[in-house]
Structure formats: C-alpha cells, structure tokens
Chain A
Amino acid sequence: MKTFTWVALAVALLLGVAVAPFASSRLDGLERVAEDNGFPGRGEGEPLVSSPVPDYAFPGVGSEGWATAAAGAVGTLLTFAVAFGLAAALRRRRDK
C-alpha cells in the first residue's frame, strides 16, 4: 500500500504543480451561467473569511504560473495530510 500511496501522491503533486499552471482560465460552468444571466456581481465583494491563498495563487510569488504551482503543491499536500489524519482518527475510534 505504501508504494501505491507514494506513487499516487506523486501523480497528484505533478498535476497540481506542473499541469495546473497551464489549466484553462476561462469562466467555469457556473460562472458562465452567472455571467450570461446577469448575477456574477452577487458573488463578489468582501469574502466572509479572507483565505490565505485566494484564487489558487500563492501570495508574494511574482509570476502567475509559479503562484499557481505553489498553491497546487501546498493544497495537494495539505489535503493529503488532513485526509490521512482524519481517516486514521476515524479508524482509531473504531478500534476502541
């Protein structure tokens, strides 16, 4: 399971770091529908919680591509770590 996990995590990292900077920046499906029907502005304005890495661009990184790559790396590893922790915690509670 170890080999599979590390290889799969490496694939995820590769996608988040090396491919994500080249992803399409067009509006997504919901944004397009909002734009076409005159309600995109409703989603703008001050966010309730200011996110540390807004719009998948790591702050302070000059180039847009590298900012996305950094956000991809941090997000992929953070998601892995939190998911592992929660799943392991759920399993431990079963053993009790």
Chain B
Amino acid sequence: MHIPDGFLDAKTFVALDVVGAGFVAVAAARVRRVLNERAVPLMAVLAAFIFAAQMLNFPVAGGTSGHFCGGALAAVLLGPWAGVLVMTLVLVIQALAFGDGGILALGANVFNMAVVAPFVGYGLYRLIRRVWRTEAGRFAGSFAGAWLAVVAAATACALELAVSGTTPLAVVLPAMVGVHAVIGLGEGVITAAALAAVRVSRPDLLELARGGGAQ
C-alpha cells in the first residue's frame, strides 16, 4: 500500500510528513537510551528481511496481489519504537532507490506502515499475551496483531485518500479494508512463522522487546 506522489493533496502529505518526522525523532531518542548490543545486528537483519519479504507479492482474490508489511514483526521482536525506525528505514530505501512510494508521500507511508502498523500490531499482541501467556498465545497474538496492523494501516491509507479528495471515503474505506483483510492473513502467517524461526534458533531474542532491549 505504498502511496505514490499524486494520490494525496498538499495539506495531507505535508501534515503527515511533519507527523512522520516527529514520530521518527521520538523513536530515535527513545531507542538510543535502551538499545543493547544484540539489538544492533537484529535491527539490521530484520530490516533486510522485511525489505526482501516485501518484494514477494502473493496473489489474492480478484486479480489483486498483496505483500508482507513487517510492522508487527518488527514491533513484536524489538518493541514498537525500534519498529518505527526499522520500518522507516525500509520505506526510505524503497522510495529513494526503487521508486516505490512517493517522496512527498513518504510521511504518509511512514505514518501508515511504520507508525500505525507497529503500534497497533504490538498493542494487540501484548493484549492477547496478557490473557494467554503460553507459547500458543505468542503465535496467536502475533498472527492477530499482524492482521490488525495491516487492516489498520489500510484504514489510515483510505482516510488519507478521502481527506485528500481523491476518492469518497464510502468507496475507498470498504475497498481498502476488504482487500487488506485478506492480505492481512498472509501477514499473520509470515509474522508467526518468522517468530517460530527465531524461537527455534535464538529463543533469547524473543524477550528483547520486553527486557528494555530496544524498546
């Protein structure tokens, strides 16, 4: 759901450029205080994985495709603020080097996929883990959190298009939420599978977000 330049009007993209920059500045300040040694390579490899996985469009219904976003995975592994930084970096590289997502619309894309997705995904994940503390709860929570993260980001994207006067909200909101409710299932599966892979190889990394590792 990378928004290209031209879809949003000036008031909307300028406002979101400011909001996005604000979130990134707060995230950098917070992460700097708590970043531990193990989190540095984890952030790097997670960014690389999210970049690569975002290239893998899978077909969904109606001649449409979707791809992994990664916001929830980054937040569950590193905490939401480090998730903001990892996702923003991926979006910046995509926009500058690959022409994926607009330059003026970068703030909107950061807000949707690097702020809304990590925080919503992490929020639901923690909520579910609070009542379901077993390992099964970890995977159910990450699946559900990842699904909601994508749907929430798509909702934000639809609101921005409507506020810009590009298309009426009554049309774009159900369309965006509908297709991303399906894409979100893929997001949930990939997020839970990636966590399972980390759990098998380095279970200690699963507690990094909570131990103040990179929160």
0/1 interface trace, chain A 24-64, chain B, CB 8 Å (1 if under): 11111110111011010011110111111111100000000
Q: Is B44 in the interface zone, CB < 8 Å from A?
A: yes
A12 in contact with B35 (CB, 8 Å) = no
Whole-angstrom distance between the Cβ of B135 and the nearest chain A Cβ = 20
Q: Using known A-B contacts A26-B63, A43-B5, determine if residue A54 contacts B172 with beta carbons closer than 8 Å.
A: no
B52 in contact with A28 (CB, 8 Å) = no
Total A-B pairs, Cβ < 8 A: 207
Interface size on B, residues (CB 8 A): 70
CA distance A53 to B1 in the complex (A): 19
Q: Using known A-B contacts A39-B167, A51-B97, determine if residue A4 contacts B56 with beta carbons closer than 8 Å.
A: no
Q: Is B180 in the interface zone, CB < 8 Å from A?
A: yes
CA distance A69 to B2 in the complex (A): 21
A28 in contact with B57 (CB, 8 Å) = yes
Q: Using known A-B contacts A12-B48, A29-B64, A53-B98, determine if residue A43 contacts B154 with beta carbons closer than 8 Å.
A: no
Q: Using known A-B contacts A28-B64, A87-B39, A87-B44, determine if residue A56 contacts B100 with beta carbons closer than 8 Å.
A: yes
Q: Which residues of B contact A52 (CB under 8 A)?
A: 97
CA distance A27 to B1 in the complex (A): 10
CA distance A1 to B67 in the complex (A): 28
Whole-angstrom distance between the Cβ of A46 and the nearest chain B Cβ = 10
Q: Is the interface of B mostly helix, strand, loop or mixed?
A: helix
B66 in contact with A91 (CB, 8 Å) = no
Q: Using known A-B contacts A7-B201, A12-B51, A76-B52, determine if residue A51 contacts B2 with beta carbons closer than 8 Å.
A: no
Q: Which residues of B contact A50 (CB under 8 A)?
A: 99
CA distance A71 to B98 in the complex (A): 8
Q: Which of B14-22, B86-94, B114-122 contacts A (4 or more CB under 8 A)?
A: B86-94
CA distance A77 to B53 in the complex (A): 13
CA distance A53 to B2 in the complex (A): 16
CB nearest neighbor in B for A57: B98
Whole-angstrom distance between the Cβ of B90 and the nearest chain A Cβ = 6
* One of A13, A56, A74, A87 near B40 (C-beta < 8 A): A87
CA distance A56 to B97 in the complex (A): 9
Q: Using known A-B contacts A15-B56, A37-B175, determine if residue A90 contacts B45 with beta carbons closer than 8 Å.
A: no
Q: Which residues of B contact A47 (CB under 8 A)?
A: 5, 99, 102-103
Q: Is B132 in the interface zone, CB < 8 Å from A?
A: no
B64 in contact with A27 (CB, 8 Å) = yes
List the 4 closest pairs (A to B, CB-CB), nearest first: A16-B52, A43-B4, A51-B99, A84-B44
B residues with CB within 8 A of A: 1-7, 28, 31-33, 35, 37-53, 55-60, 62-67, 85-86, 89-90, 93-100, 102-104, 154, 157, 166-167, 171-172, 175-176, 179-180, 183, 201-202, 205
Q: With contacts A43-B3, A54-B99 known, what are 12 further pairs, Cβ within 8 A?
A: A12-B52, A26-B63, A29-B154, A33-B172, A37-B167, A44-B6, A47-B99, A75-B94, A79-B47, A83-B48, A91-B32, A91-B37
